[in-house]
């Protein structure tokens, strides 16, 4: 196996295996990200300020990133899917920073070496009062996601296998279905999709059926997170909202 077509066929096979072995988990991801996509055509917003344009653009970028994360996770590229989520987190922080500092919108709307968006730590510091005790958990999440974005054991170890031959170590260079790694990536993707659904919901009319669909998706996300947490001895969190879950949930590493 040494051609692009061979590798692509292998990942397509993993995609099919994933859908066969974890159908409910796959459906949750597709439904959640799909609902996120629907929100862009349903939302109402008469505000055309730079701050709103920047915030909606951040949400749009996060949708595309989450969609890509789902696509590659289904194909067996789990650490790569996790790698993408750091930008989702950073955009989420930026979204709330712009809610508090709308005058900074041009940092995102004009590309300039001299006037870049504030650093993650600067934005997080500005959100002290808004995040409260959630802030320390945010730093923990950022640290975790950075491990996948930078060179680290969490990215290297999944490539090493001792299963192919007795007493022999091999390096994997093709994708393969691994249930625990898929669920770990699905855990993080679904959690952050739920967070983004909560943010974009502010532009959805209160009477629109999208809101009831979001409530059902949120319940399914929490049920999945709760289920995965229990596997690793963490406390149930089903009574909290998805956004609150960031403060208490864990991701396997």
Which pLDDT does position 250 carry in this prediction? 37
Model confidence at 244: pLDDT above 50? no
In the structure, what pLDDT confidence band is assigned to residue 238 with cuts at 50, 70 and 90? very low
In the structure, what pLDDT confidence band is assigned to residue 187 with cuts at 50, 70 and 90? very high
3-state secondary structure the chain: CCCHHHHHHHHHHHHHHHHHHCHHHHHHHHHHHHHHHHHHHHCCCCCCCHHHHHHHHHHHHHHHHHHHHHHHHHCCCHHHHHHHHHHHHHHHHHHHHHHHCHHHCHHHHCCCCCCCCCCHHHHHHHCHHHHCCHHHHHHHHHHHHHHHHCCCHHHHHHHEECCCCCCCCEECCCCCCCHHHHHHHHHHHHHHHHHHHHHHHHHCCCCCCHHHHHHHHHHHHHHHHHHHHHHCCCCCCCCCCHHHHHHHCCCCC
pTM: 0.88
Residue 225 belongs to some domain of the structure: yes
Mean pLDDT score of the chain? 86
* Residue pLDDT, tens place only, 68-108: 999 999 999 999 999 999 999 999 999 999 999 999 999 99
Model confidence at 214: pLDDT above 70? yes
Residue 253 belongs to some domain of the structure: no
Which pLDDT does position 241 carry in this prediction? 43
More confident residue, 61 or 125: 61
Which pLDDT does position 236 carry in this prediction? 57
Model confidence at 147: pLDDT above 80? yes
Which pLDDT does position 152 carry in this prediction? 85
Residue 242 belongs to some domain of the structure: yes
Averaged pLDDT for residues 29-47: 90
Range in 17-21, 140-144, 249-253 with the lowest mean pLDDT: 249-253
Q: Which residue segment(s) compose the domain that 165 sits in?
A: 4-248
* Residue pLDDT, tens place only, 108-138: 999 888 889 999 889 988 887 766 666 666 7
In the structure, what pLDDT confidence band is assigned to residue 141 with cuts at 50, 70 and 90? confident
Q: How many domains does the chain have?
A: 1
Model confidence at 240: pLDDT above 80? no
Q: Are strands 170-171 and 160-161 parallel, antiparallel or unpaired?
A: antiparallel
In the structure, what pLDDT confidence band is assigned to residue 200 with cuts at 50, 70 and 90? very high
Residue 61 belongs to some domain of the structure: yes
């Amino acid at each position: 196996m040494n051609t692009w077509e061979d590798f692509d066929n292998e990942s397509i096979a993993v995609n099919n295996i994933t859908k066969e072995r974890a159908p409910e988990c796959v459906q949750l991801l597709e439904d959640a990200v799909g609902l996120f996509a629907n929100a862009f055509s349903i939302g109402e917003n008469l505000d055309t300020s730079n701050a709103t344009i920047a915030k909606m653009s951040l949400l749009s970028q996060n949708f595309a990133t989450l969609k890509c994360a789902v696509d590659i996770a289904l194909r067996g590229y789990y650490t790569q899917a996790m790698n993408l989520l750091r930008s989702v987190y950073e955009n989420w922080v930026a979204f709330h920073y712009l809610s508090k500092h709308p005058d900074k919108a041009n940092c995102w709307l004009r590309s300039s070496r001299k006037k870049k968006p504030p650093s993650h730590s600067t934005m997080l510091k500005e959100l002290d009062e808004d995040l409260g005790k959630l802030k320390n958990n945010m730093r923990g999440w950022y640290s975790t996601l950075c491990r996948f974005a930078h060179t680290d054991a969490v990215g290297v170890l999944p490539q090493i296998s001792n299963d192919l031959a007795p007493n022999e170590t091999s390096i994997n260079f093709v994708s393969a279905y691994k249930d625990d790694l898929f669920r770990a990536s699905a855990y993080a993707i679904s959690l952050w999709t739920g967070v983004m659904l909560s943010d974009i919901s502010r532009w959805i009319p209160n009477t629109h059926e999208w809101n009831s669909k979001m409530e059902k998706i949120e319940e399914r996300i929490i049920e999945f997170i709760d289920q995965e947490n229990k596997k690793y001895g963490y406390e149930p969190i089903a009574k909290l909202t998805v956004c609150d879950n960031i403060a208490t949930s864990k991701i396997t590493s």
